[in-house]
Every structure is written in structure tokens, then in C-alpha cells.
Structure 1
């Protein structure tokens, strides 16, 4: 059937397009001694510009929303395919039944009122044959009505499948547009720098730990959240429940070095309670991370990327690189060339 072939090919394409918990109690935040812990990145010193971060925020949110809509449509498509198989099977059975009734009527002639009267030998016989006539007519009528109803259901199901195909193509187009938006914003920001800086290769950290997923709506999307729970890090302030889950899951996976989340000033997600900075060094936010500290940061960034879908990650920034759900790792040069704006001393995590 044409619809089956079309939906089969599209489902395979969608799977290709998409090819993108621990339950233990969270470990408390480890704060380094005041004498060695340096101040957290302050103000608006997160690299890039407010305009760039606004573009990245909108692009990643739009991409994630479209991805959720695509997944909903794909699930609906599968349900409709199963439904179509069922109603087509019913259609075959009912068509066969109606065909049998038509065949019998053709061979023997339908039992009508005149034949019932002529072939009855008494008033009682006439009533008996009239009752038989009513029974047969009722059965034939029911079978015909069931056949027509099933045909209509097949038509509606095929139409719904066609609509889902249109919806999936639309969401794939939106995802591609949002991907281009993020990458174009990064290119514009890089070209605006007076002196291009050397960039590092994408982090090569490994992490096999799985995080517990943040709560979702029944349709798979993330609910909107406000800065409504206390920030347990030394930064104080507030964070969102989803950011708290990401923080707790990160610590439960063994990444327990100094971390700071809420900041009242600047742009980006920190003032909204949707971002945390995870120090790569044991002593806090210092100079460029090297050696084991660099490896720690690589593995921490890899943990966030591996669990991006579970945690609702908008982006991860580490060592002059930014990871986006739409594009993977891309170059991200800092605004001032220092360890904080270059993110060479901490991993920045922003969540939806």
C-alpha cells in the first residue's frame, strides 16, 4: 500500500535525523578552603555577548521543542499504522461477509414479503416467515453498515497518517532552521573578534554514568519552571527544580568539586537559575585547567552531553568549545581571553 511504503521510508529518515538514573542521594557540594578557593566568574563574564547567548538560548530551546514535537508525531504515526492494520483486517473480513450474503441472495433470491405470503400455508406460517424475513434483513443491514463504517475509519486513519507526515516534515525543517540559527550566531560572534584566538579540539572525556531524568509533561516536553528552589551552592540565591536535578545528578555521578550556580547580575541563564559553573580544579576557579584537572573537566562535560536529553541541556561550554543539542561541539572563543570567559577553568551548564 502506498501509505505504508511512504510512512516506512519517512520513519527511517526520521530515525536518522534524530541520531542525537542514578537513584542514590546527591553528594553535598564540596567547598574548598577559603584560602585556596578563588571567586566564581562574576558579572557578565561568561564569554561571548548577551546577544550571542540570547541567540543560543532561543535556538536550543526551539530545537528541543521541535524535537519533542517530532517524537510525539512519530509515536502517533506508529499508533496510526497499528490502527490501520487492524481496520484493514476488519474491512477484509466484513467485505467477505457481505460478499457471502450477496452470493446467497443471487443464488436463492432474497426472502421478501410476497414470497413469504405465497409460501405460507396458514396465518401462523405467514407470521413465522415474516419473523424470519425481519431477522435476515436486520443481519444484512447490520453487516452493510459495519462495512461502510470500517471503510470510513480506514479513510480517516489514512488521512491522519498523511497529516502526521506533514507535521514531521515541518518539525524537521524547524530543527534545521534552529541549528542554522545557532551556528550562524557563533560564526558572527567569531568574525566580530578583533584577533581570532586559537581554539581547542572538542573535549575527549568519557562518562558512562546515566542521570535520572528531570520530570516531563505527559507529551514528553519539559514544563516551564521558575527560579523557585534554594540554590544549595555557596552562591545562594535560587535555581529551577530542573537545574537542581542536574546539579544533584552531576554530584551523584562523582563530580563533587566546587560549583556555583545563581548570580544576580548579567545576562544568560545564571540570573534565571538555569545555569551552574562547575570548577575543574579542586581549589575552585583558578587558571587554565591542565593535567588531571583538564581530564576532570573533559569527563564532566562528557557526562552532561551523554545525559543531555535526560537533564534538558540547552548547552555546555568548556575549554573554548560549546556543545549544542543541534550541532554538537563548536568553537566558542571568550570575550576577554581569560580563564573564566574562555571556560578553561570551569564547565558551564545551562538547562531548559
Structure 2
């Protein structure tokens, strides 16, 4: 390297070195199609009621489309069977004639026919006629066999279509049942707006169940963990089960005033926020209330639930969800009363 060139490169190398020190090491190029974490992964989130209904509805429609297509195919196969049978019916007299002729002549009869020729020309003519007859007979028999094969294959395909129809009918019934089950668990999609998990934990059975399925009367005999008052053992069990299911926001149970279940220690108000009460004003609060109400309703028989009030609706085991317009519209908490 010449001295002038070295003098010219020296400051350039210095600048590039300084830039590399400031900028740091050059990042390695990411591999193509490498997924990048979004920071908001929802793979483990429970399916919402809307997702269950949507999946069931799509499954139902897919099964219905396959069923309709199978029915069309069944009709086509039935026509093919009918056409093949008509061909067989039309060929039956000719087949009988061929069979009769074969019985009368056979191989020996045909050879005798040829040997009776007293001239070469006559022998050739008779041989040609015999070949033509055999060819025609073979064609007729081939037509019969083809018609029989078409009928048999169409019948096999028809049986397969009938099995496919039964399969799709069962699939439709299964998807319909899944959608209806999801709606039934939460009292209808309109009530929740779809903002509710499709499944809930199963609560442990409360104490005090009688042999006939009822509940023993209970008095306020255990300390209320939410106030300085007392509640029934069944209410405490419900409180613990709701907490165990993950509902850990503010809650108040015993209240001395009022004619209903609070002063009897048989009711709790589950707030939508960490402290105090405030009407729901976002999807998080509404979904929390929906899921809590759904948990109570799904486990009503195990917990001894008398009724649930939430978001202008009241639920009784005998009637399901009904409109509610009491002193409080219950948009700020889920109320549950026990037997």
C-alpha cells in the first residue's frame, strides 16, 4: 500500500471504528418465518360462549352442506340404478335367446355346422357367419355385464351415501346440542352478550344436603369473613368455592338491615372491582360479572343457590333468567342468595 493511500484510509478507518463502538454490534438477521412473541398470548384463555356457539354453528352448517350434497348424490345414484335395471330388463330377452341357442348348438354343434360345408366357399361363409354371431353374442353379454356392474357399483355407492348421511345427521345433532348446552348454562347469549367463558369449575357440594335432595335449615353460626357479622355454614361454603374458582374481587355478605337474605346470613354481593361498588363500564367488569353469575348458576344445585341477580336480570332455578327492576339494577355487583 502506498503512503498517500495509507494516509487517506487512516481517518476513514477511524471513523468507521468509532461508529461501530457507538452503534454496538450489528444484530444478526432473524431467520425467515420465525414467529415473534406478541406479548399477549391467549392460547390458554378459556373459550368464550361466542366462540363455542360460532364453532358449533359452523360445524352444523358444514354437516348440513355435506348432508345436502349427499342427498343429491343419493338421488343421482338412484337414477343410475334405475337406468341400469332398465338396461338389464331390455337385454333379458336377448340373453335368454343367446342361452337357448348356446344350449342347442354348443361347440360340437358349431363344428358340425362347419363340417357339413361341401365347398370351401360355403365353409368360409358359414365360419364368417358363426364368428359374427359369436361376436354379437359376446357384445350382448358384455352389455349385460356392464349394466349389472353399474347397478352393483351404484348400489354400493348408495349404501355409502346413506352411511354418510347418518354421520352428518349425527354431527348436526351434536353441534346443535353443544350450542344449546352453552346457551343453557349461562341463560342465553343475549344476557351475557357473549362475554362469558364457555366452561366453569365444578364446585364442591355444600353441607346440609338431605336424602330427598333438599337442604337442611341453617342459622347464622359461623363468622363472616367479609364483615363482623355471622353467616350460615352453607353461605361460607359458597364464599370459599367462589374464591377457589378465582373470583377474588371485593365481596360483602352479612348486612343487618333489610327484609331479605343478607340479615339472615344467606346472601353475598360480589363486586366487579377490588374495593367498593361501581357499575360495569368496560368488558373486563362485565365479563367478570358474567363469569361469576355463570359459575353460581352452573353449580346452583351443588351450592344450594336460591336465586342470582345480575345486570338487570334475576335467575331462579324454576324459571331461569327474567328481567329485574328492583331498587338496585345490580349492574355493579352479582347478588346470590342461598336456601
Query: What is the TM-score normalised by the length of structure 1?
Result: 0.40
- By relative contact order (CA 8 Å, sep 6+), the higher-ranking structure is 1
